[in-house]
């Protein structure tokens, strides 16, 4: 049992301790946060916003999504490459790599919730917001339960991902995503998600491949040699 706050933030589970049914459930949930689903989904939203509400709304979504991706990638690379050089020694077990699944799920699913709910009655906004938070909480729990991330890494991923929903809350007026004009695009999007569900683009592995380059460039990172968990290495 964790005995202090740092140990709580360092909590992660081992997937090998899950029953096959439990593993299947949590893995099914976490797949909705993978890049193979999230990134094409975000691109479809850009097209649908452009078609229904104009280029300005599509540009705002696209730019916000890009910023969220860049922030997540940059923080992942920073902590994987140089985390031990600036983190307190008691924090290095808690923070290796912010959760990309959690960050992009918060950005994309949270952003969609804002677009769909902002102009709705207040009771619907609260209800939809609550359901979105429940889904994101379940997504974050899946990352911890499957042993992919610590609690702190999930929290940081969530905080980075809020950049897009918060921006949309501050800037967007009433927008339309779904309409008769975009029905075909919506069907294609669902088809893509169905076909690619469970696929893994291994972006985390690409980021890890850049660690050597960063360490060779930044002198203070050259002597760091810790090994962190792979976001995509799940054991049944």
Domain for residue 205, yes or no?
A: yes
Q: Is the pLDDT of residue 124 over 80?
A: yes
Domain for residue 231, yes or no?
A: no
Taking the CA of residue 178 as centre, how many other CA atoms within 13 Å lie in the half-sphere pointing to its CB? 10
pTM, two decimal places: 0.82
Residue 199's pLDDT is: 81
In angstroms, rounded to a whole number, what is the distance separating the alpha carbons of residues 80 and 86?
12
Domain for residue 214, yes or no?
A: yes
DSSP annotation of 16: G
Pick the range with the lowest mean pLDDT from 33-37, 64-68, 173-177: 173-177
Pick the range with the lowest mean pLDDT from 75-84, 110-119, 127-136, 167-176: 167-176
In angstroms, rounded to a whole number, what is the distance separating the alpha carbons of residues 189 and 33?
15
Residue 69's pLDDT is: 92
Length of the chain: 236
| Widest distance between CA atoms in the chain | 58
DSSP annotation of 97: S
Q: Does residue 93 or residue 234 have the better pLDDT?
A: 93
Domain of residue 121 covers 26-85+93-221
- 91-102 burial, b if ≥16 CB within 10 A, otherwise e? ebbbbbbbbbbb
Domain for residue 126, yes or no?
A: yes
CA nearest to 163, candidates 66, 47, 43, 75: 66
The answer to whether residues 84 and 224 touch, using CB atoms and an 8 Å cutoff, is: yes
Overall number of domains in the chain? 1
Q: Is the pLDDT of residue 2 over 80?
A: no
The answer to whether residues 13 and 144 touch, using CB atoms and an 8 Å cutoff, is: yes
Domain for residue 201, yes or no?
A: yes
Domain for residue 15, yes or no?
A: no
Residue 46: partners with Cβ closer than 8 Å, 6 or more residues away: 58, 61, 62, 65
In angstroms, rounded to a whole number, what is the distance separating the alpha carbons of residues 234 and 146?
7
Domain for residue 196, yes or no?
A: yes
Domain for residue 229, yes or no?
A: no
Residue 159: partners with Cβ closer than 8 Å, 6 or more residues away: none
């Amino acid at each position: 049992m964790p005995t202090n706050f740092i140990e709580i933030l360092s909590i992660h589970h081992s997937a090998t301790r899950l029953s096959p049914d439990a593993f299947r459930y949590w893995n099914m949930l976490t797949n909705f946060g993978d890049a193979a689903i999230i990134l094409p989904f975000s691109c479809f939203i850009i097209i649908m916003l452009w078609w229904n509400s104009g280029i300005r709304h599509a540009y705002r979504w696209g730019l916000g999504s890009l910023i969220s991706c860049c922030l997540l990638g940059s923080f992942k690379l920073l902590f994987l490459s140089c985390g031990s050089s600036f983190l307190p020694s008691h924090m290095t077990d808690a923070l290796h790599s912010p959760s990309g699944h959690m960050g992009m799920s918060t950005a994309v699913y949270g952003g969609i919730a804002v677009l769909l709910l902002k102009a709705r009655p207040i009771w619907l906004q609260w209800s939809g917001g609550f359901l979105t938070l429940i889904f994101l909480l379940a997504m974050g729990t899946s990352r911890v339960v499957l042993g992919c991330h610590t609690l702190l890494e999930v929290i940081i991923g969530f905080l980075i991902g809020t950049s897009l929903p918060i921006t949309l809350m501050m800037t967007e007026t009433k927008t339309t995503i779904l309409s008769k004009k975009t029905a075909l695009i919506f069907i294609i999007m669902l088809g893509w998600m169905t076909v690619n569900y469970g696929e893994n683009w291994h972006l985390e592995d690409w980021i890890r491949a850049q660690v050597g380059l960063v360490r060779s460039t930044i002198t203070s990172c050259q002597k760091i040699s810790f090994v962190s968990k792979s976001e995509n290495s799940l054991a049944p």
